[in-house]
Chains A and B, each alone.
Chain A
């Protein structure tokens, strides 16, 4: 029996071109630029200066405030400059550029491939270590993980929910990680379970990855309290609220957090990073990135150092095809179109998608025909057509009443709309404006 969430959801063509191709180490580039704003929250404080020598895994920026994350060098070499570089959105933001020289790692990092299942650290120590290692949610939201583990007083977690759904079309980085690093992920889950003091963990995997379900179920037998659950293929199953609904049939209240229903959600990639941080002393400075596209010569899954320019990734896939129309960081649904090839890979980059010209254009927008398809597919039970109408008329207070802030920007409404309306664009605008209104109200 495969579970899934209700209401809403869509089933875009999966296009998992790179399923089954093993993780390949991407050669260390000549130069990396490591952005400071890689996570949700405050920018960290830079600890290095121009001309400093750094090693792989060395702390180069310390998180400022509670919601922030440390940043470690992903290469060894000399700090070239701390200056603004173009980031994913095209804006220039501060980054630390390092000229690579050799590959010298910090001594504390255990580079042996040996699996360590024994967890030596205590609960508090685990949270501290995760904080130090700069681990953030690697499903794309990049929320600092230690914040999730520091529960408010009186809150009790019952379940650890692990996201192995990978519902985004094209992406296979979590899939390949589950196939190759199943034990590490499961040890990571055990570590988080210990930190949160929970007994039960569910790992949800969509059934378009039967090999991953089988392999993980097989390995999970050796880890008490962890259960693998197959899920019916449906986008956006990887959304935390949808995953909770699918796995434990609880609904997170509007404006609430998973903790309100006794759950905490982690991505398999984050668990792998947790394993490396706790058991191997290795901070987060590399991640698996799917580099894919129908016209790429050899798409694949790569282990990439943070800060590597995406041009290096495309080069590894055989260069940019001629008819490329769009390059997206992430998947087709929630990814972001890039406007430079020098954008660095960051902690939240799960994939890189090269789309041909023919697939990269929006179709012309027409009038709403009130077919209500957007309402049917909205996983949050919202009315996108109405929200857009309010957005166009700048009635942001009405949008707030209609719970626009519950929108998680999955793009299902845009996908399904037969009139090609820019539903999500206006909802996104509304969310920004509502936040402004709320801030004004507070003051």
Chain B
């Protein structure tokens, strides 16, 4: 072996050993002592790093769980109650149950319902469009259809429907992480209580204009007429600024408000068609709902509340 190779091996090894010693000393000196339980908690979390809990990622959330005395203010939306229960058992703390939520798009102003009064040809982003102007329809509150909510979703749970130009939520995939709610510059998306069989009743409009103006810009806008408020037996509906809002907690899904709405702004989703009996008691509801007899046990909750 020529000496040059030998010297190289010796000098490199010496450098390596010296570096190893220095690194070892530094590692010992500046060691961060972490609670090993944090790793366990992190493992229990979904690991989506969606930020729905309000922390930068799952690791931060795990740290916060370990540090805090109570878990009352901490919640992992994608994991839900099961995950939180698991975290609570690891930490020996009390779990707090929360109603599962689901994202709901409160705008029905599809291309057919809302006339386009101008054309936007700028960057395809709701945030940019809304910073420039009110939008390409007469409704300043409605969906801009550029899909910021779709882009931020980590769970592939919201898609743009090219026919209507509105986003649609896939209930099974939605974890209520709040990302789309924050991304929407118009505050159209809301997290509402998840009901059995993904049933939903909500006012699919956030237009706060007076009835006439609202109706002019969109045929399915809430005009704030107050008919639904009057008919609601559970005081779940309030009207503010010419806009009805159904409280998801108070609402018992009785569906009495739905046929009352003159503009079809209240949507009922995942319900079986209405019973024959109900149809007969309300002959004045234009026969819009399909008349098909349904077994009572399928109706579940609303039959209970009536």
Contacts and interface: CB of A to CB of B under 8 A. Distances in A.
A362 B120 CA distance: 9
A155 B306 CA distance: 74
Contact of A428 (B118, B121, B128): B128
Contacts of B123: 365, 422, 425-426
A362 to B, nearest CB: 5
A91 B134 contact: yes
A341 to B, nearest CB: 11
A90 interface: yes
A111 interface: no
B121 A361 contact: yes
Interface string B116-157: 011001110101100111111000100000000000000000
B122 A92 contact: no
B122 A362 contact: yes
A12 B134 CA distance: 29
- Chain A: interface size category: 10 to 19
Contacts of B122: 362, 422, 425
A203 B131 CA distance: 34
Interface string A414-443: 000000001001101100100000000000
Contacts of B209: 84, 92
Interface in B104-122: 117-118, 121-122
Contacts of B131: 428-429, 432
Contacts of A84: 209
B121 A90 contact: no
Given A422-B123, A425-B123, A92 B117 contact: no
Contact of B133 (A339, A361, A426): A339
Contact of A89 (B127, B132, B136): B132
Nearest to B213: A92
A429 B133 contact: no
Contacts of A220: none
B127 to A, nearest CB: 5
A429 B134 contact: no
Contacts of B125: 425, 429
B146 to A, nearest CB: 12
Nearest to B119: A361
B128 A90 contact: no
Given A422-B123, A425-B123, A339 B134 contact: yes
Contacts of A361: 121
A425 B134 contact: no
A336 B118 CA distance: 13
A186 interface: no
B133 A89 contact: yes
Interface in A310-337: 336-337
B135 A90 contact: yes
Contacts of A422: 122-123, 128
B121 A426 contact: no
Contacts of A365: 123
Given A90-B134, A337-B133, A362-B121, A425 B140 contact: no
A200 B256 CA distance: 75
A282 B36 CA distance: 75
Contacts of B136: 339
A145 to B, nearest CB: 27
Nearest to A339: B118
Interface string B12-42: 0000000000000000000000000000000
Given A339-B133, A426-B123, A92 B128 contact: no
Contact of B128 (A336, A340, A429): A429
Contacts of A91: 133-134, 140
Contacts of B127: 429, 432
A305 B128 CA distance: 32
B209 to A, nearest CB: 7
A359 to B, nearest CB: 13
A339 B117 contact: yes
B54 to A, nearest CB: 13
B128 A425 contact: yes
A89 B128 contact: no
B121 A92 contact: no
A31 to B, nearest CB: 18
Which of B121, B123, B128, B140 has its CB near the most chain A CB atoms (within 10 A)? Answer: B123
B132 A426 contact: no
A398 B1 CA distance: 54
A89 B134 contact: yes
A107 B121 CA distance: 50
Interface of B: 117-118, 121-123, 125, 127-128, 131-136, 140, 209
22 contacts: A89-B132, A89-B133, A90-B133, A90-B140, A91-B134, A91-B140, A92-B209, A339-B133, A340-B117, A361-B121, A362-B122, A365-B123, A422-B122, A422-B128, A425-B123, A425-B128, A426-B128, A428-B128, A428-B131, A428-B132, A429-B127, A429-B131
Given A86-B134, A90-B133, A339-B117, 8 more contacts: A84-B209, A89-B132, A89-B134, A90-B134, A90-B140, A340-B117, A426-B128, A429-B125
In the A-B complex, the 6 residue pairs with the closest CB atoms: A90-B134, A422-B123, A425-B123, A90-B133, A339-B118, A89-B133
